Structure 1
Amino acid sequence: MSERKSILLRLDPAVHNALAKWAADELRSTNAQIEYLLRQGLTQAGRLPRDLGGLPRRGRPPKGADSPSATDTDQEGQAGGA
């Protein structure tokens, strides 16, 4: 995967607040919400590159993943803790 680009984006505070609330409602960061909306707009306009990779997966791996910590936690019955 290639390195991700960083940009400076100036937004009206009311727009930023609305985006931040929407992102929180969907359990995303504001940055991830902006990228999601940009990809959605590019798709609708028929301008999304075909060779584009998917959105990076964030957060915890799904239950049952081959992670030693996930297996240890499941066996101890403490899943969903801290």
Structure 2
Amino acid sequence: MTNRPVALVTGASSDIGKEPASALIAVGFYAVGTSCDVSGVAPFSGVTILNLNVARDASVAIAVQQVVELRRSPTYPCRSTRSNDMPSTA
């Protein structure tokens, strides 16, 4: 496991989130991007995309738990994926 810091970037399905995520990766962060609907989000280099509706407490709790689990993963930080595995909280 590495001590590479994790950045959680909301709105990663649009340029307003993609650009900061890419910039954070460039300076050594592991970026986890979020979108309220990941079904149409194409993964982009070095970023894991998770479902997150920031207006729903349950969605926030699930996303945080997923980040913790990703951080504990033996393959961290080698991921560029979309996660549809979480229950819908929209």
Q: Same fold per TM (> 0.5)?
A: no
**Greater strand proportion:** 2
- TM-score scaled to structure 2, two decimals? 0.28
Q: Which has the larger radius of gyration?
A: 1
Q: Which has the higher contact order (CA 8 A, sep 6+)?
A: 2
**Greater helix proportion:** 1
